[in-house]
Every structure is written in structure tokens, then in C-alpha cells.
């Protein structure tokens, strides 16, 4: 919260109210509120712009008789916060640069002339006057020490605020620098309803997309798991085939070894047979020699 001079002193020297109502009728009140809230929305992200409605502005210290209460004021370069009045010497001597006045049937020409003189003398850079009943808009821009009338304000853009004025034959519309219109409380409610409805529709669409995505992901995961199981089975079959091949090769090796042993046994048997035949032949030869020598070999 903004803090200035002691509040007790402010009430004693610089009154915060004159007992008069802020507006004389509902139309004037609605326009004051519309502009104040619209400006606050414009500078919502900035802490160095102070906006107020029907707040006493005292430009001179020690002169509580010199004051005005603009319907809406904007002081650029001053912090946000609550104030009982705008005491310029406590605000780095920065005057409100932009002022709005909303006319009502009770406003008199002399009163408005005094206000104009006050704003011109004490540093207002932009001054706008709007009569909502007659739909009359006037604007003034500082040139040197004077406020000069803006010649064509129908599509005017405020140099300091960036606010665009769209003044047509039937009404005045104001737009924020980002193009968003100034909205009344009821319009804001309706806008919020539409925004909430649209948001809910977007949420429903997003929810449907999420469900579709989740379903697709579940199916993809299922297919992936199925493929992994098939791959595992294929690997297992491959491993079993490899093992079968190894067993077949081992069996083949054992069969070859058995064949080799059988051939070796056959070869040994043939060698034994040959040796037996050779021994038998030697025995016959010996018996023949003995018979030639007149010796009966069977007698030995």
C-alpha cells in the first residue's frame, strides 16, 4: 500500500471529500467506472501507473483551497496504492498527466472553464471530456504551456496511454493498446461467461484428444509388448534350434568316433587274423620240413 504524509495531518489540512456525490446520475457513474477500470486493466502489469476516480488532487503544498477532483485521473510514474487524496508534492511533484471528465446535466459552462484552466495550469498533458447523453467528445493535448484542442478525435490514440478512441455517431468506444475493448461490469460478466464456455469446450476437446492419445498409446504399448513376446519366442526358438544343432553335431561326432573305433577294431581283428594265418603258415612249413627229414610232426 502506498504511504504518504501522516493521515491525521491530511484530514486536518487537505480534505479528502467535499460531501458531494461522485456522479449525478447512473449514466455518468457507469462511464466513470468504465474508464477507471479500463485504464487499470491497461496498466495491470505495471506498478508505476496510478489510476483513480473522483480523487482530490492538490497541486500546491499549503494551499488546500487549490484542488480539483477529476472524474478519472492517471499519473504515470507513480506507484499503485490507496490514497485519500493526491498530494502532488508527496508524489515526486508529478501531476496526473491524463484526466477524464464525464459530463452530466448539472455541469455548468463556468465550472468546466475553471476545470480547464486548472488542468492547463498544473500540468495535465491530455484532457478528455465526454458527454454520454449527447455523445459529444472533446480532447486536448498539451502544446507548450497550453492545452490545444485535438482537431480530429474520431480515431484518436492517446500518446501517453495508448488507448484508442472510436467515436461514432451513436456512441464512444475505448480500446486498450492490445485492441481489447473497455468493458462494463455486465459486459465483463458476459465476456467471462463466453470465455468460460469456450474454455470448457476447449477442455472437452483437449480431454477427448487426451483419451484418444491414451488409447493410441495403450494400443501401441500392447502391440509393442506383443512384438516383444514374439521376439522373445523367436529368440527362444533360435536358442533351441542352436542347442538342437549342437546336440546333432555332438551326436555326429560321437557317431564318427564310434565309427573310427569300429574301424580300428576291425583293423586290429584283421591284423590278428593275418598274424594267425602267418603263424599257421609257418607251422605248416615247419611240419613239411620235419616230414622231409623223416620226422612225424604230430609226434612232437
Which string of b and e fits 119-154 if b means at least 16 CB within 10 Å?
Answer: bbebebbbbbbbbbeeeebbbbbbeeeebeebeebe
Strand ranges for 155-299 from DSSP E: 164-167, 172-175
Question: Are 132 and 102 contacting, i.e. CB atoms less than 8 angstroms apart?
Answer: yes
Identify the pLDDT of residue 195: 52
Identify the pLDDT of residue 184: 81
Compute φ and ψ for 130, nearest 5 degrees. Answer: -130, 130
Identify the pLDDT of residue 4: 52
Domain 7-182 has CATH 3.90.1570.10: yes
Identify the pLDDT of residue 155: 93
Question: Burial level of 97, CB count in 10 A (0-12/13-18/19+)?
Answer: buried
Identify the pLDDT of residue 6: 45
In tens digits, the chain (300 residues) has pLDDT values of 454 544 444 444 787 776 666 567 889 999 999 999 999 999 999 999 999 999 999 999 999 999 999 999 999 999 999 999 999 999 999 999 999 999 987 778 889 999 999 999 999 999 999 999 999 999 999 999 999 999 999 999 999 999 999 999 999 999 999 999 999 878 777 765 555 556 566 767 766 786 787 788 888 888 988 988 989 898 999 989 899 898 888 889 888 888 988 888 898 888 888 888 888 888 888 888 888 888 887 765
Identify the pLDDT of residue 192: 55
Identify the pLDDT of residue 22: 58
pTM: predicted TM-score of the whole model, two decimal places: 0.61
Closest to 135 measured CA to CA, from 154, 151, 149, 150: 154
Identify the pLDDT of residue 37: 94
186: helix, coil or strand?
Answer: helix
Query: Which residues does 115 contact at the CB level (< 8 Å), separation at least 6?
Result: 68, 70, 101
Amino acid at each position: 500500500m502506498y504511504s504518504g504524509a501522516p493521515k491525521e495531518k491530511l484530514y486536518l489540512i487537505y480534505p479528502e471529500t467535499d460531501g458531494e456525490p461522485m456522479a449525478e446520475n447512473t449514466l455518468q457513474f457507469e462511464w466513470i467506472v468504465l474508464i477507471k477500470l479500463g485504464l487499470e486493466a491497461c496498466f495491470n502489469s505495471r506498478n508505476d501507473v496510478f489510476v483513480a476516480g473522483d480523487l482530490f488532487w492538490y497541486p500546491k503544498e499549503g494551499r488546500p483551497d487549490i484542488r480539483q477532483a477529476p472524474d478519472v485521473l492517471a499519473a504515470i510514474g507513480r506507484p499503485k496504492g490507496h490514497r485519500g487524496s493526491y498530494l502532488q508534492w508527496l508524489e515526486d511533484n508529478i501531476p496526473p498527466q491524463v484526466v477524464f471528465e464525464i459530463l452530466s446535466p448539472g455541469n455548468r459552462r463556468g465550472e468546466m472553464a475553471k476545470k480547464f484552466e486548472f488542468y492547463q495550469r498544473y500540468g495535465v498533458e491530455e484532457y478528455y471530456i465526454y458527454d454520454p447523453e449527447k455523445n459529444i467528445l472533446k480532447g486536448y493535448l498539451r502544446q507548450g504551456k497550453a492545452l490545444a484542442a485535438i482537431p480530429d478525435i474520431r480515431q484518436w490514440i492517446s500518446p501517453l496511454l495508448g488507448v484508442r478512441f472510436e467515436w461514432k455517431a451513436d456512441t464512444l468506444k475505448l480500446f486498450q493498446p492490445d485492441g481489447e475493448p473497455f468493458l462494463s461490469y455486465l459486459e465483463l460478466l458476459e465476456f467471462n461467461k463466453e470465455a468460460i464456455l469456450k474454455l470448457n469446450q476447449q477442455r472437452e476437446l483437449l480431454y477427448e484428444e487426451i483419451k484418444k492419445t491414451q488409447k493410441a498409446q495403450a494400443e501401441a504399448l500392447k502391440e509393442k509388448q506383443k512384438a516383444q513376446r514374439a521376439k522373445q519366442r523367436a529368440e527362444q526358438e533360435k536358442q533351441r534350434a542352436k542347442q538342437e544343432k549342437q546336440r546333432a553335431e555332438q551326436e555326429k561326432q560321437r557317431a564318427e568316433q564310434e565309427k573310427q573305433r569300429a574301424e580300428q577294431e576291425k583293423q586290429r581283428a584283421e591284423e590278428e587274423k593275418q598274424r594267425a594265418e602267418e603263424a599257421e603258415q609257418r607251422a605248416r612249413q615247419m611240419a613239411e620240413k620235419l616230414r622231409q627229414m623223416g620226422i612225424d610232426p604230430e609226434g612232437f
